[in-house]
Amino acid sequence: MVAVIAVGLGGDLGLHETDASSPEPALALAPAAGPRDAARSVVPREIHLAAHPDLPQRAERGDAQAQSGLALAYLNGQGVPKDVGLARQWAEKAALQGHAEGQYQLGSMYLAGTGVLQDFPTALKWFEKAAQQNHAAAQYRLGLAYYNGHGVGVDKTKAYFWFNLAAAQGQREATAARDRLLPLLSAEQVASAQREGLAWKPAAVKP
């Protein structure tokens, strides 16, 4: 079974399996935006340095939000020359401070192999940290990982749990994934995941 990274029409990255003998359908979901290149698709937002001229200074002073923003600027080449290495460095600085968006950015870079060697377990480590702060996109990524068994063992109950949390925040891809997964689960599995979701409390969000 060969794991690949699928770049959807909206540039969103989804893990799926290419083995046609798999007894269950793979989840390969794409939002309805226009196509983007793979490096730019690592994160869903953009920031132009010209509109935030103080961003480098704030980032150098240790402002995690600014570090995450500067990572985006370097990733997309907006206001600065495109440099995925510097994007990774600034995302990592933000992530190490507990910044959820920085953690998601870094996880996405490891997932896609952008500026770093592709590494699913490390990607999931950072997605987990962001997801625990209620970062919806990271929760969706964890759901995909548990569904397909990338970096973790296959666990469709946990996949449903993470999809459900993200869907509760209006994450469209997670809602679609949850609804496609539902018929594959027993009533007991669904009830267990829903109970866990009701009891789940997010970690304190880092500014």
CATH hierarchy code of domain 3-199: 1.25.40.10
Q: What is the pLDDT of residue 125?
A: 96
Per-residue pLDDT, averaged over 159-188, amounts to 96
Mean pLDDT value across the chain = 79
At residue 4, the 3 state secondary structure works out as strand
- Higher-confidence residue of 17 and 171: namely 171
Distance CA 138, CA 51 (A): 27
Distance CA 8, CA 205 (A): 29
Tokens standing for residue 24: 């269950």
Q: What is the pLDDT of residue 181?
A: 96
Question: 5 pLDDT band (50/70/90 cuts)?
Answer: very low
Do the beta carbons of residue 8 and residue 28 sit within 8 Å?
yes
Sorted by sequence, the CB contacts under 8 Å of residue 23 that are 6+ apart come out as: none
Distance CA 12, CA 41 (A): 6
Burial-class residue 149 by CB neighbours within 10 Å (0-12, 13-18, 19+). Answer: middle
pLDDT tens sequence across 46-71 = 666 666 778 899 999 999 999 999 99
Fill in the DSSP letter of residue 171: -
Distance CA 26, CA 35 (A): 21
- The answer on pLDDT for 182 being more than 80 is yes
Domain regions of the chain by residue span: 3-199
Q: What is the pLDDT of residue 80?
A: 87
